[in-house]
């Protein structure tokens, strides 16, 4: 079993990241230069910066606490695949808010977190903004693809690997 802290951080971030993917893709469909788009974009930036703090906390927690060992019966290739997908998810989760921040920081509007304007570190630069927006877009697509693989693996394990079932379930975890 994962510890209670690991479980709560996992599910808070799962809801947050899936919400941000939906918000991100939807907000770009709202016509540019409208109040609605500005509101959604500011909400996206604000929630994204809060999620960055939670992602940093989760990564630090994970580095300081080993996950529960895989069951002995689990084939080597499955352990390697699970570990690789988890490492890739941590890396993408760390990179995504940073590329989002850089996209905004090189734009003309900067970054506001729930109305509080962050100090301007960079001067507006259209080429840098476009480059980071492209990386942010690819990052979102990669997160979406890996989360889909991750969810399919979780469903498969729930039904076919009883020893892996419920390791991330709220309420059944080890204290801490």
- Give the dihedral sign, CA 99/133/22/85: negative
Min dist CB 171 to ligand HEM, Å, is 14
Return the number of the residue (99 or 175) whose C-beta is nearest ligand HEM: 99
Return the number of the residue (4 or 137) whose C-beta is nearest ligand HEM: 137
Residues at the contact surface with ligand HEM, assessed by CB under 6 A: 10, 13-14, 17-18, 20-21, 24-25, 28, 44-45, 48-49, 51-52, 62, 67, 86, 89-90, 93, 96-97, 100-101, 103-104, 111, 133, 136-137, 140, 147, 150-151, 154, 164, 167-168
Return the number of the residue (4 or 10) whose C-beta is nearest ligand HEM: 10
Q: 107 with 45: CB under 8 angstroms? A: no
DSSP 2-69: -BHHHHHHHHHHHHHHHHHHHHHHHHTTSPTTSHHHHHHHHHHHHHHHHHHHHHHHHHHHHHHSPPPP
Min dist CB 10 to ligand HEM, Å, is 5
Q: 48 with 100: CB under 8 angstroms? A: yes
């Amino acid at each position: 079993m994962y510890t209670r802290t690991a479980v709560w951080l996992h599910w808070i971030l799962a809801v947050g990241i899936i919400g941000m993917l939906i918000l991100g893709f939807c907000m770009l469909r709202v016509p540019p230069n409208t109040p609605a788009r500005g509101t959604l974009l500011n909400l996206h930036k604000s929630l994204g910066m809060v999620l960055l703090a939670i992602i940093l906390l989760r990564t630090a927690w994970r580095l300081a606490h080993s996950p529960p060992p895989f069951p002995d019966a689990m084939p080597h290739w499955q352990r390697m695949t699970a570990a690789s997908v988890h490492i890739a998810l941590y890396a993408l989760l760390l990179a995504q808010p940073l590329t989002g921040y850089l996209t905004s920081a090189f734009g003309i509007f900067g970054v506001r977190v729930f109305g509080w304007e962050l100090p301007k570190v960079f001067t507006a630069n259209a080429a840098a903004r476009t480059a980071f927006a492209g990386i942010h877009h690819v990052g979102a697509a990669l997160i979406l693809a890996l989360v889909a693989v991750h969810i399919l693996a979780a469903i498969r394990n729930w039904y076919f690997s009883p020893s892996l079932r419920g390791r991330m379930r709220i309420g059944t975890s080890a204290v801490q």
